[in-house]
Structure 1
Amino acid sequence: MSDDNDAKMGESQAPGISAKDYGLPGDEIVAELPVFLTHRIANNLHLLQYPQKTTQARPGELLPSVARFKPIHGQIEMDIPLDVQSPMYNKERGRELGAGLSDNGRLLDIQTLVSVDVPKSSNYLAAVVREGALHITPIAKVTQLRSSLKYLDLVAEKEQAAKKLEDDDDDEEDAKETKVQTVQVTVRSAQAEEALRQQQSSIAYIQQRQEEEPWSSLSYFDMDSEESNSVFSKLMAAHTEDLVCKTSPDEYLTAIIGSTEPDVL
């Protein structure tokens, strides 16, 4: 494959060619398009998935009030406003959950989406058909955005702190009573203890590094904005050159699927 930023990968031919001409069964081939591979924005092109959303997003639906990014660890967070004036919004429950945001009786008025990396199992491409040609751009990273429930943890912490104060008051009256405590003993080998310690230390270190990295503000532009259209135009190849294949068909197939020799029993 050529190292050029934009490379042509196919030739345009007249439609109407039968699949049988290629030794293939099935439908008639109605068109063949030249394919252009471009890397103009490949390093910065991320695919964001919304697995908890069952319908296609409408313009403005996912417009965040705040968007932030940790470039080193690749973390993304977006605060999506909630319609607290909607008749479907339970303000009493919203005020209870809002305690996880502040102590001033604030309603839960945002839904925070946090990024979860998707393990790379295949290569993704963004494809655009324009003027009878297919333009493809490799996608650098695939990320899922899921709802954060940190506010529930904060609410639970406040409830536990309040309960602890009540329990402390009750314990003062029984301070002289003997307390019996059950101790559970777990025996591990020295090797297992060391492996567990290293694992916990590694996880804690990674989490600490992620938390220490400061957030950078992101500007969000919706799908119909001028800025989005400008970026979209960069998915089309700016220059077109024929792709020079440096391998034979057999070598190319072998690199993809392994040996091309038939299995002999």
Structure 2
Amino acid sequence: MRADETDNDPVVAEIPVFLAKTLAEQLYVLQYPVRPHSHSYDESTILKTNIRPRSGQIEMELGLRTRGPTYDKSKGEQIALNVDGAFRDKCDSEDNFYKSNVMDKLVLTSTKAMTDVSRYAVGVVRDSSLHLTPLSSVLALRPSFSYLDLADKRGRQERKDMSGDTEDSDDEEKAKKVTVRFEKPETIKSRKAKEKSYGFLLRQIREEPWIEVTYHKYGSERSEFELRKLYCMYEDEHVDQFSLAPKEYLSQLVPPTEEVQLTTPGLPAHLMSRSALTALPLHDRVKTVMINAGVASFGELLGVFSCENSVESALSVLKVLQQVAVLVQGNWVVKSDILYPKDSWSESGVANELIQRGRDFVLYLFTKSTSVVRAEVAEVVRLPSNDLKNILNGVSQCRRSRATWEFLLSTDTNFMKKYPDVVQRQQMIWQSRSEQLSHNFKDKQVKQDDTNKAGPSTGAKKSRAVRIKSEPSDDLSDPQTKPQPAKQRRGNKGPR
């Protein structure tokens, strides 16, 4: 490229690119090749949604408008009669393919539109930064005409019953000759060739059972909750591709997900919410969801437990929620003692009891403000950099300035207005916890000061006094135990 061409093509902007991996194994792109964009399925009624996780297949049942001007009712009645039979009214409605007397639903089945999606990702832009999430599969959904096969099968069966050839056919079955064959021992080569055959793969797909899942439309609280997972939560981590070898760069860009495999072996993570959680008691369900979510609003939690419209169920969830989480900015955060159990240590070798105190101090600061400064927190809690970073990543994200961390969710004023008694109770809990933290951090500083006094005086750095900053109306420490100015602490020797 010539120099003049380079000058005519200046760099307009540079934006950071982040890799989000929360939905890396669960993100599907659905295409509708036979449906025009002007007539999408967004406003359709989704009756049922099934998925085959290993095969990556999706099946959706959509309700049809049987009273519209474009619907042929006589044709719909004929199709329902052919599929379910003339005596469909005497059968249980669950046994019929169509619940009404007409064709009232449409079934969409998926096929893989692409065999290799490793080079594709979904990108979203936020605050002039691009967040990419790798795709799991790209599926094309088309209408299924399996009801024609059902009608053909029922017609053959009815003709067979009317002719009365059942016994004759059984006699013919008995009169047939049977040929006995001895198969050769299967070798490794023949077994691999068999596994690659179309018949074997088709049989494997059909043998995998369908798992029913819940469909959440775009714009609902649950969809907005899942949409946040498209953003990277670790924006302060950078990978410099110019100072690393290609293999090292790829390993840091896409590290192995061993923890996810250990947590849910052989199953996608999203199946936990319907299969395993349903069998657990309410307390264990709320605890499991909070451990995995970390931070969530009350409306999002009600959507997960499908009790938005039940006041009684919402109060039950709220009662259990106060046992496993604390209130911060009108949102719920899992308790530190649940996330960091005692008698354990972090990767840096710090006892979890100290990690609990540090995290509670960070949460208390967030109850007073929506952002904190990392340097001020580090000066008080005095935890290793990795442990403090893990605490902040769990409840906040770095914004613009790398030293400032902002709480993950905006303040939920609706919850605070609707449940003032819960808010008041949580404020009392935080006040009591802040006094404990003030006492613990002060004792820790006294021990450190004694150690510094016992050491050599030359060349030793004097440790700064640690004070927990708070608002005057809600101080962490008791006024009687506040550190006094240096001149007053030296003692009153009196006049000489």
Between Structure 1 and Structure 2, the one with more strand by share is 1
Matches within 5 A, 1:28-67: 29-55=11-37, 60-67=42-49
**Against the structure 1 CA distance between its residues 125 and 201, is the aligned structure 2 distance closer, same or farther, given a 3 Å change threshold?**
closer
How many Å separate the matches in 2 of 1:84 and 1:231? 33
How many Å separate the matches in 2 of 1:105 and 1:204? 36
Report the secondary structure of 1:43's partner residue.
coil
Counterpart contact for 2:84–2:151, Cα < 8 Å: no
What's the counterpart of residue 59 of structure 2?
77
Q: What are the ranges of 5 or more consecutive residues in structure 1 without an aligned counterpart?
A: 1-18, 170-194, 253-265
Tell which deviates more after alignment, 66-75 or 76-85: 66-75
The number of equivalent residue pairs is: 204
Match of 2:145 among 135, 149, 160: 149
Match of 1:206 among 174, 194, 201: 201
How many Å separate the matches in 1 of 2:3 and 2:232? 30
**Against the structure 1 CA distance between its residues 213 and 108, is the aligned structure 2 distance closer, same or farther, given a 3 Å change threshold?**
same
Match of 2:238 among 233, 236, 242: 242
Matches within 5 A, 1:248-259: none
What's the counterpart of residue 129 of structure 1?
125
Query: Is residue 99 from structure 1 mapped to residue 87 from structure 2 by the alignment?
Result: no
Report the secondary structure of 1:126's partner residue.
strand
What's the counterpart of residue 139 of structure 1?
135
**Against the structure 1 CA distance between its residues 202 and 58, is the aligned structure 2 distance closer, same or farther, given a 3 Å change threshold?**
closer
Counterpart contact for 2:28–2:139, Cα < 8 Å: yes
- Superposed CA RMSD: 3.5
How many Å separate the matches in 2 of 1:81 and 1:134? 37
The structure that has the greater radius of gyration is 2
Counterpart contact for 1:69–1:217, Cα < 8 Å: yes
Match of 2:113 among 104, 112, 118: 118
**Against the structure 1 CA distance between its residues 149 and 110, is the aligned structure 2 distance closer, same or farther, given a 3 Å change threshold?**
same
Report the secondary structure of 1:93's partner residue.
helix
Report the secondary structure of 2:36's partner residue.
coil
Counterpart contact for 2:31–2:139, Cα < 8 Å: yes
Deviation at 1:156, TM superposition (A): 2.6
**Against the structure 1 CA distance between its residues 92 and 57, is the aligned structure 2 distance closer, same or farther, given a 3 Å change threshold?**
closer
**Runs (4+) off by over 6 Å:** 19-22, 164-169, 198-201
Counterpart contact for 1:80–1:110, Cα < 8 Å: yes
How many Å separate the matches in 2 of 1:107 and 1:31? 58
**Against the structure 1 CA distance between its residues 90 and 98, is the aligned structure 2 distance closer, same or farther, given a 3 Å change threshold?**
same
**Against the structure 1 CA distance between its residues 24 and 163, is the aligned structure 2 distance closer, same or farther, given a 3 Å change threshold?**
farther
Match of 1:90 among 48, 59, 72: 72
Amino acid at match of 1:207: L
Cα deviation, 1:132-151, whole Å, max 9, x if unaligned, reads 11111111111111111001
Counterpart contact for 1:125–1:137, Cα < 8 Å: yes
Match of 1:229 among 199, 224, 234: 224
Cα deviation, 1:186-239, whole Å, max 9, x if unaligned, reads xxxxxxxxx9xx879954443333333222111111110111111111111111
Counterpart contact for 1:46–1:141, Cα < 8 Å: yes
Deviation at 1:159, TM superposition (A): 3.7
Deviation at 1:24, TM superposition (A): 5.2
Counterpart contact for 1:35–1:134, Cα < 8 Å: yes
- Tell which has more relative contact order, 1 or 2 (C-alpha 8 A, sep 6+): 1
How many Å separate the matches in 1 of 2:210 and 2:4? 54
Deviation at 1:155, TM superposition (A): 1.9
Percentage of matched positions with identical amino acids? 29
Matches within 5 A, 1:155-166: 155-161=151-157
**Against the structure 1 CA distance between its residues 27 and 161, is the aligned structure 2 distance closer, same or farther, given a 3 Å change threshold?**
farther
How many Å separate the matches in 2 of 1:57 and 1:234? 29
**Against the structure 1 CA distance between its residues 36 and 56, is the aligned structure 2 distance closer, same or farther, given a 3 Å change threshold?**
farther
Cα deviation, 1:106-161, whole Å, max 9, x if unaligned, reads 31111100110123355221111111111111111111111110011222333445
Between Structure 1 and Structure 2, the one with more helix by share is 2
How many Å separate the matches in 2 of 1:135 and 1:69? 27
Deviation at 1:93, TM superposition (A): 0.8
**Against the structure 1 CA distance between its residues 199 and 229, is the aligned structure 2 distance closer, same or farther, given a 3 Å change threshold?**
same
Structure 2 length-normalised TM: 0.36
How many Å separate the matches in 1 of 2:82 and 2:195? 28
Deviation at 1:88, TM superposition (A): 0.9
**Against the structure 1 CA distance between its residues 59 and 94, is the aligned structure 2 distance closer, same or farther, given a 3 Å change threshold?**
closer
Counterpart contact for 2:83–2:148, Cα < 8 Å: no
Cα deviation, 1:229-255, whole Å, max 9, x if unaligned, reads 11111111111222122248xxx9xxx
Deviation at 1:83, TM superposition (A): 0.2
What's the counterpart of residue 398 of structure 2?
none
Amino acid at match of 1:98: A
Deviation at 1:87, TM superposition (A): 1.4
Report the secondary structure of 2:37's partner residue.
coil
How many Å separate the matches in 2 of 1:118 and 1:247? 34
Amino acid at match of 2:102: L
How many Å separate the matches in 2 of 1:124 and 1:235? 14
**Against the structure 1 CA distance between its residues 56 and 20, is the aligned structure 2 distance closer, same or farther, given a 3 Å change threshold?**
farther
How many Å separate the matches in 2 of 1:142 and 1:200? 24
